[in-house]
Amino acid sequence: MKPLDDATAHRETPETVGVRYWIHTIGPAGAVSLTSLLLAWIAIGLAVTGSLRASVLCALGAFLLDMLDGFVARRLGVSSEFGRQLDSFIDVINYSVYAAVLSIFYIAPGVLGWSVGFVIVATGILRLIRFNIEGFTDDEPIKYYRGIVVCHLSLAAITFLIFGQIFQGAPWVTALGSVVLLVLSILQLSLIKIRKTGRQALWAALVIPLGAAAILFLA
């Protein structure tokens, strides 16, 4: 941000300087990230109160916006370390916390669900910290993540949420859902290389069947 000249500084108050600082720092890409966070926050609240269809649709909307913020940053040339950190912190809510909430309230209610939820959030945080420190594994022009990305947990949890509503009371949904979420959680900390480049269309395509299933099978 440009320093203020004497005349401008004289007219500015600390409050207006602070507002301008945050507008400049967050920028358009950060605004997309925060909108994604808002949708995820609404999705969590709706899940807790039992509005599952609306919750999943909000969560999928947050997922799409999360893919969009990086594109906006690159397109406008406003990529920054702040944006990278903001995106990672928001991912904890968008994916790890949301998946944990679905595990606790729907996939495996009780001690099992709470335990799985803790593992999901803990491994998600550790994975994102590692990424923020190490970045991508570069084999230019292809970039790779180290360990599976956190969005896998949210998408898997949504899938088993839908299965649970279709197959009411089926014990295999709880058992298989818990195992899958635990395995995916551990794989977040693995050294598996996951290609980043060119995956956006594939991820976006997953939203269509999940969104359709949510509309058809969730209340």
Answer for the pair 124, 185: CB distance below 8 angstroms, yes or no.
yes
Question: What is the DSSP secondary-structure string of 156-182?
Answer: HHHHHHHHHHHSTT-HHHHHHHHHHHH
- When pLDDT is cut at 50, 70 and 90, the band that residue 201 belongs to is low
Q: Which of 1.10.8, 1.20.140, 1.20.120, 3.30.70 would CATH assign to domain 6-217?
A: 1.20.120
Helix (H) or strand (E) segment spanning residue 94? none
**CB within 8 Å of 40: residues ≥ 6 apart:** 58, 59, 62, 90, 93, 94, 97, 98
Cα separation of 53 and 168, whole Å? 16
Q: For position 24, what pLDDT does the model report?
A: 87
- What are 150-194's pLDDT values in tens digits? 999 999 999 999 999 999 989 999 999 999 999 999 999 998 877
Paired with 142 in beta bridges are 139
- Mean pLDDT of the 108-115 span: 96
- What are 28-72's pLDDT values in tens digits? 889 999 999 999 999 999 999 999 999 999 999 999 998 888 778
Helix (H) or strand (E) segment spanning residue 147? none
- Per cent of the chain over pLDDT 70 is 86
- Mean pLDDT of the 91-113 span: 97
Question: What is the length of the chain?
Answer: 219
pLDDT at residue 104 is higher than 60: yes
Helix (H) or strand (E) segment spanning residue 194? strand 193-195
Structure tokens at 113: 């669900």
Query: Nearest to residue 60, comparing CAs of 159, 146, 149, 128?
Result: 159
Task: Sort residue 108 into left (φ over 0), alpha (ψ -120 to 50) or beta.
Answer: beta
